[in-house]
Amino acid sequence: MTATTRRAILGAALATPFLGRAGFGQEWPSRPVRLIVAFAAGGAADTVARAYGATLSEILGQSIVVENRTGGNALIAANATLQSPADGYTFLVDAANQITNPLLMQDLPFDYRKAFIPVSLLANFPQVLAVKTGFPAGDVASYIALAKAQPGTISYGTPPTAGMGHMAGELLQQMTGIRLIHTPYRGGADAARDIASGTVDSVIITTSSIRPPVETGRAKVVAVTSAHRVAAYPDAPTLAESGLPGFDMNDWNGVFAAAATPRPILDRLQAAIAQAAKSDAVRNRLNPLGAEVVGGTEREFTEFLDRGRIVLAKVIKDGAISLN
């Protein structure tokens, strides 16, 4: 073989797109990609996954299959992802469980920080404090006053135990000295259903999940938990401007990969997510729901998770929160 021939072969190899573990001669993705969502259909994470999935399928040229795997405080979905081949065809859409489960659960079957790579933060979802129709408190001040007058009698639903709604509710209690009854649900749609029926007094769920009962007049948004007001409910004040300075507790969701997933696949997926985040299709689907579309880098997502661990560790410790 001549030097010229060797150079030609090397050049062709370098120019060839990455061929993943799925098989030599096949570019990634060569078949449908699964997004395993750790939450129920209809909730914020599911909504975001499906919005991104439709656009990612166009960018990557393959179907994106969204699969809901609820239960076990998101462990079922996480395990399903880790038990699948780390070949770039199964990813996890998860949320705060990546941070809170290690703080709350013993004998976990894996170490979250070692088992998963944070590919990209998909979206932040401001949450709302909402009350059922006919509830005697229609603003933050009266809600707190009623809770102080009747401690341990007002229920608030969140999806799920130790999710960001629960964390926001616990922080609300810590900052005001009130005592509420926490009612956990598998997903935001379930909590929304129960506030619509009047089963729970109030909820702390995302702007996306609260929309159906608000539109039918069965719930009222009292405040938002983010640091700033949201376009979906411009008249709803933040908890921070309602006498709780510094209150900022958004829900969020992002894509995680099994740690052994090949780096070129992770890089291509992150680039595709960033492209999708800028698309009109994704923004037009999510912005009306109050979502803050992100689509950031792995480094940005990792730093976001590190900051969250500090905040949530304190909330959990001060609130003596457990999953028992």
Q: Residue 324: what pLDDT?
A: 64
Taking the C-alpha atoms of residue 43 and residue 73, their distance in angstroms, rounded to an integer, is 15
Q: Please, where are the H alpha helices in 66-124? A: 75-82, 97-104, 112-115
User: Between 117 and 97, whose confidence is greater?
Assistant: 117
230-243 pLDDT, tens digit each? 988 999 999 999 99
Per residue in 190-228, pLDDT (tens digit) is 999 999 999 999 999 998 889 999 999 999 999 999 999
Full 3-state SS string of 1-44: CCHHHHHHHHHHHHHCCCCCCCCCCCCCCCCCEEEEECCCCCCH
Note the pLDDT of residue 40: 84
Task: Tell me what pLDDT residue 289 has.
Answer: 81
Domains with residue ranges and CATH for the chain: 27-125+251-319 (3.40.190.150), 127-242 (3.40.190.10)
Round the average pLDDT of the chain to a whole number and report it. 90
Question: Residue 223, SS3?
Answer: strand
**What does the pLDDT read at residue 98?**
94
Q: pTM to 2 decimals?
A: 0.80
Structure tokens at 239: 């908890």
Whole-number pLDDT of residue 288: 85
